């Protein structure tokens, strides 16, 4: 399998590099008609069935077809009609990272001959899983599901040898010679010190230690930025609509990196214990970052919004009264006299799942959304959204995992109607029903999670076992074994 993916990567990465003028991606066509993850290998008839908002059949990889790496389990279901198609997308791949061949990066051209392995320089590859929850169209989610792992690959290309060398990463790498301007006079180099005793004046020869792990985190962060820039370029030509939350997992050299930008969630279930591997980015969890930006750049609020938070809308007749408020640097609340400016709509408004940025969007990190504006206005939302994920690291080698230890990834369609404990209990229950070496057990666990959070169609809509409303959203779930027999291949 590795060979196949390596070829695909070699074709694609050329178009994704940072070379100037590389605006078009030469990857598979994106946009266009309805599509589901390639690994599902759906026939056109099956694809049609997957697009049925009424029947909402749960989709999983067929046992008779290609098995996912690590015997990963997967299941998904379409929403109950909130959008034209399923806006979730998914990806699962093994990606080989080729060393960058450009002479400006690697001064030794023979590294490009393909003989590298034979000369004791090992190949680098990573396992990859991604979930993309689209909104306002599925274009950004489709594009990210097809390309984000290639951007990660591209960011890792300078690091192939560095990451496999046990010595600390070099702080500086050779580059191409540039014409050097005249040296500048740098007055602030000799500084007064107001804080420390005289024996502790700043030492300007200090070097900061940088770990291999933090290079991988930096590569993933920058891959998300490059992906977002590529979506922006495509959106300008109107081929890609909307935005998406992105949850990506990279397994590289013994460590699992979980990168989250949005409100999807990842948890590890280990020996029945739950280890959170992500947090959600919403107007509530990122309130202070957004308010700080609105405070520093009031022009982004378009004279329609105030960066202050109020516990409810203020009525015009309340001018002059005192209302509770929170400023960007506050965690507590205080009263302030209501002024004309406070009648503007709050930048952050609503509570929990109902909280919105500028009354428009309920997630504050993700890819795309470059064209998103406040309804009936020319106010852009994108400056308040971040495309940078939070990356958490889990060292697989620090613990001996059993076949029931798994990493679960789910879009908010799953987590809106269930919680970590319930998910862990369902997974454990399903896995116990199968032999530890039965590779289909992880897909059965994912399937069960999707069925239980979708519920059953009754007269009063989709209902859970407890008769509460089931999730009407798209639901997508990966169940990734951490110590099963199919691992690390």
Residues 100/106, Cβ–Cβ less than 8 Å: yes
Task: State the Cα–Cα distance between residues 134 and 400, nearest whole angstrom.
Answer: 36
Least CB distance from residue 112 to its own copies, whole Å?
18
Task: State the Cα–Cα distance between residues 365 and 389, nearest whole angstrom.
Answer: 7
Instruction: Work out whether 203 is an interface residue with its own copies (CB under 8 A).
Output: yes
Least CB distance from residue 210 to its own copies, whole Å?
5
Give bridge partners of residue 410 from the DSSP assignment. 265, 477
Taking CB under 8 A as the binding criterion, the range among 46-54, 76-84, 228-236, 403-411 that sits at the site for its own copies is: 76-84
Least CB distance from residue 89 to its own copies, whole Å?
16
Q: Tell me which residues in 223-252 interact with its own copies (CB under 8 A).
A: 242
Q: Tell me which residues in 434-473 interact with its own copies (CB under 8 A).
A: 472-473
Least CB distance from residue 415 to its own copies, whole Å?
14
Instruction: Work out whether 402 is an interface residue with its own copies (CB under 8 A).
Output: no
The token pair that represents 134 in the structure block: 């689209």
Q: Among 390, 280, 296, 279, which Cα is nearest to 347's?
A: 296
Q: Between residues 45 and 341, which has the closer beta carbon with respect to its own copies?
A: 341
Residue from 3, 172, 273, 466 binding its own copies (CB under 8 A) = 172
Q: Give the count of residues interacting with its own copies (CB under 8 A).
A: 111
Residues 25/16, Cβ–Cβ less than 8 Å: yes
Distances from the Cα of 338 to the Cα of 251, 320, 322, angstroms: 53, 5, 6
Least CB distance from residue 311 to its own copies, whole Å?
4
What is residue 388's DSSP assignment? Answer: P
Q: Between residues 8 and 388, which has the closer beta carbon with respect to its own copies?
A: 388
Instruction: Work out whether 391 is an interface residue with its own copies (CB under 8 A).
Output: yes
Task: State the Cα–Cα distance between residues 339 and 329, nearest whole angstrom.
Answer: 20
Q: Between residues 155 and 443, which has the closer beta carbon with respect to its own copies?
A: 155
Residue from 362, 436, 483, 486 binding its own copies (CB under 8 A) = 362
Collect all residues with Cβ–Cβ distance below 8 Å to 263 and sequence separation of at least 6: 133, 245, 280, 281, 282, 362, 363, 412, 415
Task: State the Cα–Cα distance between residues 377 and 301, nearest whole angstrom.
Answer: 11
Least CB distance from residue 73 to its own copies, whole Å?
27
Residue from 21, 64, 184, 468 binding its own copies (CB under 8 A) = 184
Phi, psi of 331 (to 5 degrees): -100, -30
What is residue 301's DSSP assignment? Answer: G
The token pair that represents 57 in the structure block: 């059949």
Least CB distance from residue 348 to its own copies, whole Å?
10
Least CB distance from residue 38 to its own copies, whole Å?
27
Least CB distance from residue 203 to its own copies, whole Å?
6
Residue from 63, 183, 299, 459 binding its own copies (CB under 8 A) = 183
Orientation of helix 139-156 relative to helix 212-236, angle to 10°: 140
Instruction: Work out whether 51 is an interface residue with its own copies (CB under 8 A).
Output: no
Collect all residues with Cβ–Cβ distance below 8 Å to 175 and sequence separation of at least 6: 104
Q: Among 58, 59, 49, which Cα is nearest to 451's?
A: 58
Residue from 35, 72, 79, 453 binding its own copies (CB under 8 A) = 79
Kindly write out the interface string for residues 87-126 of this chain, putting x where it contacts its own copies by CB under 8 A and - elsewhere.
----------------------------------------
Residue from 119, 376, 397, 466 binding its own copies (CB under 8 A) = 376
Helix (H, G, I), strand (E, B) or coil at 257: strand
Element (H, E) at 382: none
Residue with tokens 């920058």: 222
Least CB distance from residue 153 to its own copies, whole Å?
14
Q: Between residues 242 and 403, which has the closer beta carbon with respect to its own copies?
A: 242
Q: Tell me which residues in 125-144 interact with its own copies (CB under 8 A).
A: 135-136
Q: Computed from CA positions of residues 367, 6, 72, 37, in that sequence, does the dihedral angle turn out positive or negative? A: positive
Instruction: Work out whether 200 is an interface residue with its own copies (CB under 8 A).
Output: yes
Taking CB under 8 A as the binding criterion, the range among 62-70, 370-378, 445-453, 479-487 that sits at the site for its own copies is: 370-378
Compute how many other C-beta atoms are within 10 angstroms of the C-beta atom of residue 222. 16
Collect all residues with Cβ–Cβ distance below 8 Å to 287 and sequence separation of at least 6: 309, 326, 348
Q: Between residues 49 and 356, which has the closer beta carbon with respect to its own copies?
A: 356
Q: Tell me which residues in 300-359 interact with its own copies (CB under 8 A).
A: 304-305, 311-313, 316-324, 326, 329-335, 337-338, 340, 343, 345, 349-351, 353-354, 356, 358-359
Task: State the Cα–Cα distance between residues 317 and 315, nearest whole angstrom.
Answer: 5
């Amino acid at each position: 399998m590795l060979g196949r993916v390596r070829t695909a990567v070699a074709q694609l990465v050329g178009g994704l590099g940072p070379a100037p003028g590389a605006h078009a991606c030469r990857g598979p066509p994106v946009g266009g008609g309805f599509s589901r993850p390639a690994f599902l290998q759906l026939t056109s008839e099956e694809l049609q069935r997957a697009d049925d908002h009424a029947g909402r059949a749960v989709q999983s990889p067929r046992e008779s077809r290609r098995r996912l790496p690590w015997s990963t389990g997967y299941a998904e279901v379409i929403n109950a009609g909130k959008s034209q198609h399923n806006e979730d997308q998914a990806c699962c791949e093994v990606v080989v990272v080729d060393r960058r061949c450009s002479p400006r990066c690697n001064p030794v051209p023979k590294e490009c001959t393909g003989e590298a392995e034979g000369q004791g320089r090992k190949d680098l590859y990573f396992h990859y899983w991604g979930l993309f929850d689209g909104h306002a169209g599925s274009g950004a989610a489709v594009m990210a599901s097809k390309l984000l792992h290639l951007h990660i690959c591209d960011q890792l290309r300078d690091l192939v040898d560095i990451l496999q060398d046990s010595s600390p990463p070099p702080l500086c790498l050779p580059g191409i010679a540039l014409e050097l301007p005249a040296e500048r006079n740098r007055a602030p180099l000799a500084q007064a010190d107001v804080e420390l005793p005289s024996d502790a004046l700043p030492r300007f020869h200090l070097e900061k230690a940088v770990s291999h792990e933090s290079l991988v985190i930096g590569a993933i962060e920058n891959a998300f930025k490059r992906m977002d820039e590529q979506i922006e370029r495509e959106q300008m030509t109107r081929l890609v609509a909307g935005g998406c939350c992105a949850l990506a997992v990279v397994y590289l050299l013994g460590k699992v990196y979980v990168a989250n930008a949005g409100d999807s969630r990842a948890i590890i279930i280990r020996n029945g214990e739950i280890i959170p591997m992500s947090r959600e980015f919403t107007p509530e969890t990122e309130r202070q970052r957004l308010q700080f930006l609105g405070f520093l750049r009031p022009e982004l609020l378009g004279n329609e919004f105030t960066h202050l938070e109020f516990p409810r809308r203020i009525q015009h007749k309340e001018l002059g009264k005192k209302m509770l408020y929170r400023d960007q640097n506050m965690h507590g609340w205080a009263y302030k006299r209501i002024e004309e400016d406070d009648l503007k709509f709050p930048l952050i408004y609503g509570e929990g799942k109902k909280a919105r940025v500028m009354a428009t969007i309920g997630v504050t990190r993700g890819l795309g959304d470059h064209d998103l504006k406040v309804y009936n206005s020319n106010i852009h939302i994108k400056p308040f959204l971040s495309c940078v994920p939070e990356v958490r690291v889990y060292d697989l080698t620090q613990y001996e995992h059993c076949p029931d230890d798994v990493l679960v990834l789910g879009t908010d369609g799953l987590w809106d109607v269930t919680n970590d404990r319930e998910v862990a209990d369902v997974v454990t229950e399903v896995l116990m029903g199968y032999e530890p070496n039965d590779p289909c057990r992880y897909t059965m666990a994912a399937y069960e999670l999707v069925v239980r959070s979708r519920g059953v169609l009754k007269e009063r809509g989709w209902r859970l076992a407890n008769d509460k409303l089931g999730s009407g959203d798209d639901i997508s779930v990966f169940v990734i074994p951490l110590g099963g027999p199919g691992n690390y291949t």
